[in-house]
Amino acid sequence: MPTLTDLVTYCDQRTRRAAYKDAPGAFNGLQLANDGRVSKIGAAVDAGVVPFQKAVAAGIDFLIVHHGMYWDMPRPLTGPAYTRVATLLHANCALYSNHLPLDGHPELGNNALLARQLGLQPSRPFLVRDGEAIGNIAESRLTRAAIRRKLESLYPRVIAIEYGSAAPKAVAFCSGSGYSAVPELLASGVDTLITGELREDCFNRAQEEKLNLYLCGHYATEVHGVKALAAELSKKFKLPWEFIGTENPF
């Protein structure tokens, strides 16, 4: 049986975890250990009491999440924070969190997988932070209408704000929150962004700067990376894996 250390080392190296600076509270990597043995891998987007309860009920003892437990830590382990940790500890379930590395990875990253869902190949970096690209740009021959149709077939809720070109030559991808990506579009030579969520003021910006903005859901655009990493681990270490979904509509 593979050990916890085997899995953590593989995830850290495969995602180049240490290369990304990330937010101070992200604490990418192993956030909670278990007794050292792993028999089933899980993948979820968010840390939370309910996903943790579902994971342990499914027999998972190594859970990968995109949004980990520590964004606003340190805080006392009381109330829901206690319940999160207690749920995992009592079930001997380790927690491994991986945020920006799993957005930017060229094969396992949310943005590479978003591009491939549209049949596009990422060709240049987008949203470079501390030397690492989080998003990507793909050349495209798809019309705007085709992009919208495809997204609407893949995602339950799509908001389409279409003031850019009807046949964009390139498309930018930024999973999750795309607010910081919008000001970088035109400078990157692209007028079309596929992202998870934006803020209200982006509508006027789209009109003024002639942009196409497609919002497919923060959660929905970030299921891909954790699933891809869990599936790869499952194959490599010959362990079962399961995605723990929630009804997060954002």
Q: How far is CA 236 from CA 117, 185, 227, in A?
A: 24, 38, 14
Q: Contact at 8 Å (CB) between 8 and 30?
A: yes
Peptide bond into 240 cis (omega under 30): no
The alpha-carbon radius of gyration of the chain (Å, integer) is: 19
Q: Report, in Å, the least distance between residue 181 CB and Zn ion.
A: 13
Spatial separation of the C-alpha atoms in residues 36 and 3, rounded to whole Å: 6
Spatial separation of the C-alpha atoms in residues 97 and 29, rounded to whole Å: 5
Residue 208, both tokens: 């003024």
Q: Report, in Å, the least distance between residue 218 CB and Zn ion.
A: 6
Q: Which residue number, 35 or 130, has a Cβ lying nearer to Zn ion?
A: 130
Spatial separation of the C-alpha atoms in residues 233 and 2, rounded to whole Å: 11
Q: Which residue number, 4 or 174, has a Cβ lying nearer to Zn ion?
A: 174
Q: Which residue number, 162 or 184, has a Cβ lying nearer to Zn ion?
A: 184
Q: Report, in Å, the least distance between residue 176 CB and Zn ion.
A: 3
Residue nearest Zn ion, Cβ-based: 176
Q: Which stretch binds Zn ion (CB under 5 A): 84-92, 108-116, 171-179, 226-234?
A: 171-179
Residue 51 as a binder of Zn ion (CB under 5 A): the answer is no
Residues contacting Zn ion: total by CB under 5 A = 1
Q: Which stretch binds Zn ion (CB under 5 A): 25-33, 130-138, 156-164, 172-180?
A: 172-180
Spatial separation of the C-alpha atoms in residues 123 and 54, rounded to whole Å: 38
Q: Which stretch binds Zn ion (CB under 5 A): 34-42, 72-80, 169-177, 239-247?
A: 169-177
Q: Report, in Å, the least distance between residue 67 CB and Zn ion.
A: 6
Binding mask 129-168 for Zn ion (x = CB under 5 A): ----------------------------------------
Residue 176 as a binder of Zn ion (CB under 5 A): the answer is yes
End-to-end CA distance of the chain: 38
Residue 109 as a binder of Zn ion (CB under 5 A): the answer is no
Instruction: Sheet with 192-197: list strands edge to edge.
Output: 122-129, 132-139, 170-177, 192-197, 212-215, 159-162
Q: Which stretch binds Zn ion (CB under 5 A): 69-77, 148-156, 163-171, 175-183?
A: 175-183
Q: Which residues bind Zn ion (CB under 5 A)?
A: 176
